Chain A
């Protein structure tokens, strides 16, 4: 009864609305998020529902948005910032990394900064430059930030509310290519904590792990592999900082093999960190090196080439085969 079939975009809208109902200090800030409802319509109807003082169409200045969100949080508000596209976050990079991430430590705990920064990210949407990127590693490298990314409408609905409840800054990465597919949302129970990773398909031969849009790709790959007799276990990372390693290590200790998939360039990436940590903690369980399937270390290419750049089911299965060949 409490389950609905929703797109991720709609689930986010409802999650934001629920958070705003629960706490009148929650305010949304961003470019075009008012009457337009954001370029992805995630805030559609919210300004009408809650008023222009709770859903702020800000001036077009990302550093200004995050910098003033910090000031609002100091005043006791819980700002939820929308960055319009992944590649447009960098004007705010300074405020996020030198200020937002560090102010709690600089106040020696006397100040909490419950600011959420929503970042639509990733490719597969055929868009122009700066609109398809995966910049999460820059922020995962910065102490003081928490990073999460939902892969399903259900997680989107709950994780946005959990992120808003957090007393630390949370970067909330929304996989753009997953905004529109529908999925079941249990409106009664989140099912997991914000920073928990989760095994979403059981298997015995190889573990594959990813986040955001990669998760559905990994599930598709597992389905195909099953037809060929290979049993793949799929882990949805959900939280990129901190990473919840327990389910992942448990899985790797059973399968002995791990493939990490991500849209971001592979160098110095979330996948790199997972490969290093799993090697340190499960060395004697590994039958093969941890393999990464990533975007290439090039700028995100023009849209007609994105199919070659982004990991797909074939590249994932290719890596699975390589892992099994050891």
Chain B
């Protein structure tokens, strides 16, 4: 579909390794991966896919207002998520459940947001520097760039000290590439030579609008016009996603400025549970991408490496357990106290908040013992 001769790939859809000159520079990253890390890649993809399905079910059963499926994008997210170092900062869009999980975010925090209990609510300092989801398309790219400017001003780039040098990884989608903010983020990033990686998940659809409406040219060509080096990768290849992101983050931390990755992937499900993809796309396209499923190809690869059946059974059980726990915890979630809406609008006491909190409390109290 949108693969180009420049699309980088290490793992073919049939689970075999692809050897090419174009990917040679990335091999050290993959060769350094331990068996345990490869297992973690697989485990995370499977667990999050199972969780994602469970969350969609919870929405259908009336337990969530909305769910935002990540089905099909697991390799793009898991590879890139594992490539970031603990002290790097990650600015997600709103579909990066796997990345959040990798960074230590309790996925029930995402559930809370989509159950209508919070607008985010987690503290990035406690979730592996995984910042809040942003629903205004592309806005977070500027926050990421500003954050990366701060890292640069702090002198935490290009020192050669791996404990010090820090980068920012920001996620966005193909629809977001049309937003002014994303293009302004490219401009500021280039101008200030920020230590950051723009990670575009091209899942081919912005709700119902295909990527060809956003761009007549491959999206990874666009940042080059801004002076930002870019690559296009097979985003359903977890090894390529990992290696490309690790290499780009290394370059960013080393002071080589912003980097850009277009990960070709596919939104196998709906945009959200409010969406109906049968109205705008055909089954052939879905089948094409199902044949390029990120998890099955990696499973084939691991089996080829001699991974035992017991491992796959264990991961399967773990995924079931994870989903079942998420369900149980979701059902136990209670709404916050109504007064909490006044709590954090400002960081300091505020007369309007104080007055309205009191008026609300008085109004509520007026019902006590009443009708």
Contacts and interface: CB of A to CB of B under 8 A. Distances in A.
B147 interface: yes
Contact of B142 (A63, A107, A144, A167): A63
B324 interface: no
Interface stretch (A94-102, A202-210, A214-222, A284-292): A94-102
A105 B345 contact: yes
Contacts of B316: none
Interface size class on chain A is 35 or more
A72 B181 contact: no
B142 A71 contact: yes
Interface in B180-227: 180-181, 184-185, 187-188, 191
Interface in B53-103: none
B135 to A, nearest CB: 9
A106 B119 contact: yes
Contact of A110 (B125, B144, B184, B187): B125
Nearest to B144: A71
A96 B180 CA distance: 15
B330 interface: no
Nearest to A64: B184
A304 interface: no
A63 B180 contact: yes
Interface in A99-122: 99, 102-112
Contacts of B347: 104, 109, 112, 167-168
B116 to A, nearest CB: 14
Interface stretch (A33-41, A73-81, A154-162, A313-321): A73-81
Interface of B: 118-125, 131-132, 134, 136, 139, 141-151, 153-154, 180-181, 184-185, 187-188, 191, 343-348, 350-352
Given A112-B347, A242-B352, A107 B121 contact: yes
Contacts of A279: none
A59 B191 contact: yes
A61 B139 contact: no
B89 to A, nearest CB: 9
A77 B345 contact: no
Interface of A: 27, 53, 58-59, 61, 63-64, 66-77, 91, 94-95, 98-99, 102-112, 143-144, 146, 166-168, 242, 244
A166 B349 CA distance: 12
Contacts of B124: 107, 110-111
Contacts of B125: 110
Contacts of B151: 75
Given A70-B142, A106-B121, A63 B184 contact: yes
Contact of B120 (A58, A106, A166): A106
A95 B351 contact: no
B146 A71 contact: yes
A112 B123 CA distance: 12
B348 A167 contact: yes
B119 A67 contact: no
A87 to B, nearest CB: 18
Contacts of A99: 134, 136, 139, 143
Contacts of A63: 142, 180-181, 184
Contacts of A166: 348
B118 A67 contact: no
B30 to A, nearest CB: 32
B150 A71 contact: yes
Nearest to B187: A59
A92 to B, nearest CB: 10
Nearest to B150: A75
Given A75-B147, A77-B150, A67 B350 contact: no
Counting from the closest, the 10 A-B pairs by CB-CB distance are: A71-B146, A67-B142, A75-B150, A68-B146, A64-B184, A110-B123, A71-B147, A109-B344, A71-B143, A106-B120
